[in-house]
Amino acid sequence: MHAELDPVYSRLAARRLYRFSLAALVCVAAYFVYNSGGELTDTTLVGLLILGLASAPALGWALYQRPWFPVFEITCLTYVAFYAIPLLSNYNELIAYPESVNTQAGLLVVSFLAMANLGFAIMGKPASPPVWAAASLLPEGTNRYIPLGQTINTVYVYFYTFTTFIPHEFEGTFRALFFGLGTISTFILARQIGTRALSRQHTLLFILNLFIQVGLLFAQLYLIGGISLLALALVGYASSRRSLPWVPVLLVLPLIALLHLGKPDMRAVYWQSGKASPSLTELPAFFTEWVGYSLAPRDAKENNTIFERASLIQMLCLSVDRVPSLKPYMEGESYIDIPAQFVPRFLWPEKPSGLLSNIRLALYFNLVNLENATSVSIAFGIVAEAYINFGFVGVATLGLVMGMIFRRMSVLSQSAPIFSSLGILMILLTAWSFQIEQVMATWLGSLFQASVVCIGLPLAYRRFTVS
């Protein structure tokens, strides 16, 4: 994929990545089997099935040295963290449901992944992409300005975090613009580091910008934003080099785990108690306080792992437990706001927010009061949403369609330049693959906004400047 950035890797590197990944998968599975005392309950077996189905596409990509960029493979891997690990580790919140409910919820994920793999496998090779989709949107020499794009995003994150300079009515537009710019810049620079095409000075600038952005995102007490940015950089590097940057990974993972432990205490202090958010000069003290909470002794029940905090399996169990025995299927009600997300807000100022779908689901299960419904966000995920609307058929159909779409996009884009419409779309899909906790309207709406900025504007520029 992408003529400007030919991946530099050997068969040996690809096989090494495959062997390591397979060994890691076997070790994880063996650990959970051992942790269960060797007793393979239905829940454990289903968790292992999710683990295998979610990992299989990435293993195949490494083993057979697939030429396309692994968006589908990365998307499937996220289901390990959000569903397999919490299910296998007997997440505390699952105790409230009978094992039969936990097993059925796990089987829904199995069916989703199985149908996604099937759709990806059976989708035939599409015709060549249209010229407009495969043509580079930006002039030659644009690569040298990519570090500037990442730096501009750093400035935006600073203003967003510490000032009220950006008017509220333009927050969504600016977020789409700068988040899209930062996503593309971070990903391309990470790939260039993987291919050793980036100078030492620009590599250091990349690390500095990434460090600042992640720190500012963490300072908002939402770890997922910073983790997604780090994951995007990791994917960009690993996909071009077909190996992992072990030193940074081994340094960053323990730090994230440490901050995760103290996050509830920090939120209690800064959100519930109303303590003012830190200024730029107060950040060292802020993170020192955070680490202090993380290292403080706490009840064992409070020590949920980072995977349990990220878990979506409990929402799927809630859905299985109540639908359709206590509540009927919604029959598409949470999807009705999707079409509106593709209408620009300047053409429809009163258009419904994509968050309304999440609110409808929360109200449907009486998880929030109508008075404060807009102030609380509950992560359901697209699998639970599909089940609530159409049951097992909805989950299986969504998986099949997703697999087919991703296969088509992967094959079409594998020889397209990175600055083409297809190349940029694949980068955006990579970033959005970490957002599976969102409902479909929110996911599609935010992706559309970023696509308009990152693809639509350059397309318009090319249309009116290139004869």
DSSP state of 82: I
When pLDDT is cut at 50, 70 and 90, the band that residue 466 belongs to is low
Helix (H) or strand (E) holding 238: helix 223-241
Query: What integer pLDDT is reported at residue 283 of this predicted model?
Result: 93
Q: Is the pLDDT of residue 91 over 80?
A: no
Instruction: Please tell me which of 53-57, 188-192, 428-432 the model is most confident about, judged by mean pLDDT.
Output: 53-57
How would you class 175 by CB atoms within 10 Å of its CB: exposed for 0-12, middle for 13-18, buried for 19 or more? middle
pLDDT, one tens digit per residue, over 343-380 is 877 677 777 777 888 889 989 998 887 776 666 678 89
Cα–Cα distances in angstroms (integers) from residue 418 to residues 115, 375, 380, 423, 424, in the given order? 29, 39, 33, 4, 6
DSSP, collapsed to helix, strand or coil, labels residue 379 as: coil
Q: What percentage of the chain reaches a pLDDT higher than 70?
A: 91
pLDDT at 116 over 90: yes
* Structure confidence by residue, pLDDT tens digits, 191-233: 889 888 889 999 999 999 999 999 999 998 888 888 889 988 9
Residue 391 phi, psi (nearest 5): 70, -155
> Residue 3 has what pLDDT?
38
Asked if 245 and 237 count as a contact pair (C-beta separation under 8 A), the reply is yes
* Burial bucket for residue 361 (CB in 10 Å: 0-12, 13-18, 19+): buried
CA proximity to 311, closest of 105, 24, 37, 114: 105
Amino acid symbol at 382 = I
Cis peptide upstream of residue 324 (ω within 30 degrees of 0): yes
Which residues does 216 contact at the CB level (< 8 Å), separation at least 6?
A: 157, 158, 161
pLDDT of residue 163: 83
The answer to whether the CB of 441 falls within 8 A of the CB of 354 is yes
pLDDT, mean of residues 243-251: 86
Q: What is the 3-state secondary structure (H, E, C) of 318-338?
A: HHHHHCCCCCCCCCCHHHCCC
Planar angle of CA 338, 340, 342, nearest 5 degrees: 90
Among 145, 140, 153, 74, CA closest to 453: 153
- Residue 162, pLDDT score: 87
pLDDT above 90: residue 388: yes
So where are the chain's domains? 156-309
The single-letter code of the amino acid at 84 is A
Residues with Cβ within 8 Å of 457's Cβ and at least 6 positions away in sequence, in order, are none
Contact criterion met (CB below 8 Å) for 216 and 157: yes
pLDDT for 286 beyond 80: yes
Most confident of 4-18, 40-54, 140-154: 40-54
CA 303 to chain centre: 24
Matching residue, tokens 């296998």 = 88
pLDDT of residue 169: 61
Q: What is the mean pLDDT of residues 57-79?
A: 90
Q: How far apart are CA 231 and CA 320, in angstroms?
A: 31
Most confident of 37-41, 110-114, 253-257, 442-446: 110-114
Do 136 and 424 contact (CB within 8 A), yes or no?
A: no
Between CA 452 and CA 459 the distance in angstroms is 9
Nearest Cα residue to 286 out of 295, 276, 297: 276
Average pLDDT, the chain: 86
Q: How many CB atoms lie within 10 A of CB 272?
A: 8
Phi-psi region of 218 (alpha: psi -120 to 50; beta: other; left: phi over 0): alpha
Answer with the residue of higher pLDDT: 342 or 388: 388
Cα–Cα distance measured from residue 57 to residue 456, given in angstroms and rounded to the nearest whole number: 31
Q: What is the pLDDT, as a whole number, of residue 309? A: 55
Indicate if the pLDDT at residue 45 is higher than 90.
Answer: yes
Q: 420 in helix, strand or coil?
A: strand
Q: Which amino acid is at 295?
A: L
Q: Confidence class of residue 65 from pLDDT cuts 50, 70 and 90?
A: confident
Give the integer Cα–Cα distance in Å for 353 and 377: 13
Model confidence at 59, pLDDT cuts 50, 70, 90, reads: very high
Amino acid at 402: M
- Which pLDDT score is estimated for 460? 83
Q: State the average pLDDT over residues 40-67.
A: 91
**Higher per-residue confidence, 140 vs 231:** 231
**What are all long-range contacts of 361-366, with beta carbons under 8 Å and residues at least 24 apart?**
361/334, 361/385, 361/388, 361/439, 364/327, 364/330, 364/388, 365/318, 365/322, 365/327
Residue 329 and residue 390 in contact, taking contact as beta carbons nearer than 8 Å: yes
Q: How far apart are CA 74 and CA 61, in angstroms?
A: 10
Going by pLDDT thresholds of 50, 70 and 90, the confidence category of residue 287 is: very high
The reported pLDDT for the residue numbered 196 is 86
Positive or negative: CA dihedral 215, 220, 221, 223:
negative
CB-based contacts of 7, cutoff 8 Å, min separation 6: 194, 195, 239, 240, 241, 242
Structure confidence at residue 7 (pLDDT): 44
Closest CA relative to residue 62, chosen from 26, 22, 2: 22
Residue 292 has pLDDT above 90, yes or no: yes
Please write the tens of the pLDDT for every residue from 418-445: 888 998 999 899 888 888 888 999 999 8
